[in-house]
Every structure is written in C-alpha cells, then in structure tokens.
Amino acid sequence: MVVTHPTDPNVRDERWIPKGSSTNGIASGWNYAGAAVRLNPNADIDAIIFENPNTYENPPGDGIKNFDEYRGILYIPAGSSTLEHERLNPYRKDLFLRADGFDDAFGDPYDEPAPDAEYPFRLGLALQIAGVDVHNTTGWGHDASADNSFYIYYRNGNITDIDSTTYLVTGAEAAWSNNWPRYEWEFKLDGDPSDAWTPIYSWIDDGAFYLDRPYTGGANGPYAIRMPLPPLNVLIVKLDKEKFGVFTAENDRQGHIYFMGASPPNPENIDGSRFWTWSTTGLGIYAKNFYGLASVLQLPLDRYFGDRPYQKSSIWDPQQGWITEDVWEPALMKLMPLRMCEDFTDERKYIDGWYDETIGTLLGNKANGLWDGDRRLPAYDEWAQIGHLNPFDVDNNGFVELPLASNPDADNSSKQFAVYDENLGTWIHPYTKAWVLMHTITHEVCHVLAGSLHSQVPKDLMYKYSNNWKREDYLSDWYRSMLYIHNQQR
C-alpha cells in the first residue's frame, strides 16, 4: 500500500502488508522467514531428518510450496463449527491421515487415548522424530465445500451395476479418468446414508473401476466419489472388522493364534519353550505415486489377546506341592514352564511336556491318572472361557509379552513394557491392546509411504520380525530414505 505524510501529501512511501512481504509474499514476522532468512516462495524444502545425514538422502518437499506453507490450511475441527487456521512448517513434511472405524479417532495422533477406548486411533513417534508432521483430519469440515464436509464430490452419470464378487463398478456416462488416485478417493451410492464409503482399488476406463472391498449397499443408481479438498492428499487408515488375516492359512484358522510346536527342557533351556504364532494384524498397501491404504485387522488383534488355549487343572508350588483346583489363588494363575507339565495322556512321555529316562520323572510329569499341569484345549470355542491361559501372557496379568517371555516367574518388564519413567521409577505403557494397535497402525502407515520392504535393524519399527512392541518411536535411516510424502493438486 502507498502512504502519505500526514501534513504533506507530496511525501509518499510504499508499505507492504504484512510487513516484509514485498520480497517474497511472506511476512518477515513468520517464524520461518524472518528478516535474516527470506524463503523462496516457490521452493519446496521440507526434509526428512536423518541420524547420519551423509549416509542416505530423501528428496526434499511434500508438494506444498513455502508460500502455501505460510498461508497454511483452513479447516473446521471435528466436533466444532468454527473455521480454524494453521500455518505449516516449511522444513517438515506434512502428512494428512484419516481414521475409519476406530474408537477415539478424532484426537491428536500422539495424545494418550481415552481410557475407555478399546480401538483408539493413535500413532507412535517414529514419523514425528523423522521430520514428518502428522495431521489427523478425521471429522474435519470446511466452509468451502457444499455440505461443510472436508470433501468435494464427483457425480457424473449413474451406476449401472456393482458386482458383489469381483467388486467391479460400472457406470453410464460417468467419464471417469483412469489416472485418478487409487485408494485416496472413495465411492458410495447416494441413496442410503448408512452405506459405507469404500476405497477405490483401481480405475479401468471411463465407465468402470474396482473397489478395494465388497460394497455394503445397493447395486445401482446415483452415486458420489469423494476426494479431500486440494491440495491435500489424505491417507486412509481403516480398522477392518471382517478379515481374519492376510494369508490363506490365517483365514483357514479364522485369525486365531496357532501352536507350532514345543522344545523340551534341556541343560541350556531348563524350562523348555512353547512356539506359537498369530495371524497378521495389519496390511499396508503401497500405490507408488498415490497414497495406498493402511488397514489394521480387528479379529486377529482380538484373538492375540483373547485366545486362551491352555486349560488350568492344577499348579505346582515348590513350598506346598500340588495345589488343586479348589484352592486356586489368582497370583498362581499363570502358564507354568514345561518342566512342570506332563503329557496329556499321562503316559510319561513327551507331548506337551518332557520326560527323560536317565534322570527319572520330572516335577509335573507324575503318572497318577490326573493332569498335573497345564494342557492345550483342542477347540477354538473353548479358548475364551475364564480360567484358561494365553501363551503370550505367561503371567496372566492381561498384558502380552510376546513368545520371548517363557518363564512366568522371571522379570518380564523389559519385554512387557515400552517406556520407563525415570520420575516415577516404574515402567509405563504396558503392552495392552491399545498399545499393540498403535504400534501396528504406525507400522502399516509406513508401509503405505515406503513400500513392502522390511528393515534388517532389530530396533526399527519396520524390522522384519516382531521381536517386541517397543519400536514405535524409531525408523532407521535406510527406511527414512524411502518415505514418500506428497500433497498434489489433482
């Protein structure tokens, strides 16, 4: 703007509002573009943070230029009717997520979940530490959209058929483009508001596309394809309540944990070991130039915590001898080491337990016609009854330890808990279902951003084995180099 002297109109000067915006359109009062640092408004400089910057690299940028980061985003938060403004950080990549099907899904991705939420939507710290600001858009709205939602809609033509077997959707005069994003855009018929928005798997031509999963609703009529307001792209994270697992074997056993075998006690492993596996609890689909879809499978997660295939009949106590069922104490309700168990036929030979002719019958393998230790139940429908034991929760306290903890009398805290609070002097964040869910969500989101590969680094969130549940805050430099964050104008 041009200003004049208050008493002499011939004295004029030029003033830019906001201050400093004459050089790049960005105010000098912005934290990231002060008088000493003037950002190029057209540059896109967001960068991944590496532990060892000279070893790997990741292309700069997230699709939002410096000037647009300065301008920020407008949105109506979940549960509000007031439009809010947030400026972004030009040095950190911005990832926008939306949760579907979770409890307590609207909060900050890193907040503690509500105590009564069984399936809260939360993330570990791995992406934040790697230089990615994650924004939870679940429930957001916007006054620029027709219905104050956070979406714009495509409605050309009509749906002629939805195949319930192949998930193929066909339309008349729809004029769809086969290079539109996969998974980021969702489909629903307009008729019944209870129909679920369903991600689009792939585009075929101007009159056909595939859905990612079965459509729960009608088969034809008016429709809508929704997409987030540009320039933001939103990665969808779903709680899948129907799939038993990712692989055929997991479907065959309906997502239950599975007994693989046992190693009898020996001088190097005096307790013996049980080997169990569980069904895959998550799936991250990578779609290269578009965001894919992150899913967490509810049924395998429930069964990882809820399956109790070991039945308790009696417990051996070194001081009292065998404690029978009618005098159980809660503190003694735990899965005993194999050296205290016997074969279920009571024939003094190894099946679930161990017997060695050279040293005689071990404790727990007494040929008395009774079951003297724990035993496995054959039917899945018996596994959820009170009194049974989970092989991943050997001390029966409701928190899983993973199969690594085989001795219920040992200090399992290093495997059972994720964070040690120096001020409290205790371990916090036990391996509850909410914690394992959070770990799984973070893992699958990273698969969507970087692809299907796993890390060789044991402390990495993306390590190829589930060695523990306390890797949610770390990504190796190699994996950080593959993260692809984008916000493209469509």
Per-range mean pLDDT, top range of 224-228, 267-271, 371-375: 224-228
Residue 352: the pLDDT is: 46
Per-residue pLDDT at 455 exceeds 80: yes
pLDDT at 65: 94
What is the rounded average pLDDT for all residues in the chain?
A: 84
pLDDT-derived band at 272, boundaries 50, 70, 90: confident
Q: How far apart are CA 135 and CA 128, in angstroms?
A: 11
How confident is residue 316, by pLDDT bands cut at 50, 70 and 90? low
**Residues 6 or more apart in contact with residue 488 via CB below 8 angstroms:** 63, 231, 233
Question: What's the token pair of residue 467?
Answer: 């060695």
At 353 the pLDDT is: 43
Q: What is the pLDDT of residues 74-93, one digit of tens each?
A: 999 998 999 999 999 999 99
Which ranges in 29-98 belong to alpha helices (H)? 66-71
Question: CA–CA distance from 87 to each of 64, 93, 408 (Å)?
Answer: 12, 13, 51
Region of poorest pLDDT, from 251-260, 324-333, 455-464: 324-333
* Alpha-carbon gap, residue 120 to 98, rounded angstroms: 13
State the average pLDDT over residues 461-465: 96
H or E element at residue 13: strand 12-14
Q: Are 47 and 57 in contact (CB under 8 A)?
A: no
CA-based angle 331:269:330, to the nearest 5?
5
pLDDT for residue 402:
81
Q: Is 440 within 8 Å of 281 (Cβ atoms)?
A: yes
Query: What average pLDDT does range 376-392 have in this prediction?
Result: 85
The two three-digit tokens of residue 42, written as one number: 């057209």
Q: Which of 107-121, 227-241, 343-357, 442-456 has the lowest average pLDDT?
A: 343-357
How large a percentage of the chain has pLDDT more than 70?
A: 79
Helix, strand and coil percent figures for the chain, each rounded to 5: 15, 25, 60
Given this model, what pLDDT does residue 22 score?
67
Which residues is 189 bridged to in the sheet? 223
- Tens digit of each residue's pLDDT (9 = 90 or more) over 436-454: 999 999 999 999 999 999 9
pLDDT for residue 13: 55
| pLDDT given for residue 34 in this prediction | 74
d(CA 311, CA 309): 6
In this model, does residue 1 exceed pLDDT 50?
A: no
Spell out the domain ranges in the chain: 1-38, 151-228
pLDDT-based confidence at residue 318 (cuts at 50, 70, 90): low
- Please check the confidence at residue 418 and state whether its pLDDT lies above 60: no
Binning pLDDT at 50, 70 and 90, where does residue 258 land? very high
How does strand 151-154 pair with strand 258-263? unpaired
Query: Region 271-279: what's the mean pLDDT?
Result: 86
290: confidence class by pLDDT, cuts 50, 70, 90: confident
Indicate if the pLDDT at residue 261 is higher than 70.
yes
More confident residue, 172 or 333: 172
Flag whether pLDDT at 166 surpasses 90: yes
DSSP string computed for 137-168? -TT-B-TTSTTSBSEEEE--SEEEEE-TTT-E
User: Which two three-digit tokens encode residue 358?
Assistant: 């050279």
Residues 146-163 have a mean pLDDT of 94
> Lowest-pLDDT range, 217-231, 262-276, 413-427?
413-427
Greater pLDDT, 338 or 455: 455
Rounded average pLDDT over 191-212? 92
Burial class, 203, CB count within 10 angstroms (exposed 0-12 / middle 13-18 / buried 19+): middle
| Mean pLDDT of the region 40-67 | 94
Count the Cβ atoms, other than its own, within 10 Å of residue 363.
17
Average pLDDT, stretch 340-359?
Answer: 55
Q: What pLDDT is recorded for position 354?
A: 45
Dist. CA 308–CA 9, nearest whole Å: 88
